[in-house]
Amino acid sequence: MSVPDSTGLPPVTGAWRAGDPPGRRQWFRPGVVRLESGAEVPDVEVAYETWGTLNAARSNAVLVEHALTGDSHAAGEVEPGHPSPGWWDGLIGPGKALDTDQWFVVVSNVLGGCQGTTGPSSVAPDGRYWGSRFPQVTVRDQVAVEVELADWLGIERWAAVLGGSMGGMRALEWAVMEPERVGALMVLASPAASSADQIAWASPQIHAILSDPNWQGGDYHAGGPGEGPHRGLGVARRIAHATYRTAEELNERFGRRRQGEDDPRFAVESYLDHHADKLARRFDAASYVLLTRSMNGHDVGRGRGGVRQALRRVTARTIAVGVDSDRLYPAEQVRRLAEDIPTARYAEIASPYGHDSFLIETEQVAALVKELLDD
């Protein structure tokens, strides 16, 4: 896990590992998971967290889906087992948009992730790390596991399913795969299918990690501090983070200012370096590759007669939310998604912060969440 050691080097992986403090995590163990590819993953564990209380009718459950480097810790402070505060902390809790006095909120760590759910950094049944042996998963595989979690929790129908970015992909798949089980849907800053441009931005990120000498073909997890592919992961994060924000914000915030008299870096370089180091201490490089490839493969129309035909399956009351400054998943993509879902309306967040606005613009997102749940 991302616990600093005396060397100051990043851990071999920032993944949560058995023996680390559990924090607020609970676990569901579905056993063998069969993937679309035909591969099987035995002894799967799914980490999840909940807030609020499931009512007697089991009708007040809301599923929140995390993005690429998110996890089940959507609300709460930094604590043992949780190196980062809740990524939607401003939205989940008593009196907030997802009012936990009214709603039972569930957030699970995605299959292939690294914060308590089985993935490449997990130990396989043979006692060795999964590493390169972990099979590729699709967004549909991830949702299929969440369906099993819902069954286990006794939730026949979600009052709402919400997610942004990669989480929006899974939220959308829920509404297409299991339309009768989703009452309301919110897809934020996420398309019906990943475009060539988005896959192109992801490609150098993947190659940066695979080219790191410490990648070791994906089998690095048994190493010590500094022995993981943290340099490649850091490059990937720098590329990604630049797409998450806007040119206008970076120019206004940093300009051409240098970091300091004794630091020749531009301030914006220091900013990206900070985020790269931070991610290496809380995330796993192999999960980053695996999940990025899952996002590249996202296409709700695959095997369903195309996107428009697939989206006609959605019966949930839907708000598709774009961000006016998003250069990774442009608002126009989200608008088209809304046009193809019979029950959808389009809404747009106005922000200088780009793609990350679904995490930053709490007031605007909260108003939309309340609208979705109050109807």
Report the catalytic residues: 165, 326, 355
DSSP secondary structure code for residue 11 in this structure: P
Rounded alpha-carbon distances, angstroms, from residue 122 to 3, 46, 114, 156: 17, 11, 8, 30
| Exposed / middle / buried, residue 375 (Cβ in 10 Å: 0-12, 13-18, 19+) | exposed
DSSP secondary structure code for residue 20 in this structure: B
Count of beta carbons in the 10 Å neighbourhood of residue 241:
18
- Two tokens at 269? 């370089």
Largest CA distance in the chain: 63
Q: What is the chain's Cα-based Rg?
A: 20
Start-to-end C-alpha separation, the chain: 42
Between 230-244 and 196-210, two packed helices, what is the crossing angle to 10 degrees? 160
Residue type, 134: F
Write down the residue that tokens 């949780």 correspond to: 82
Residue type, 302: R
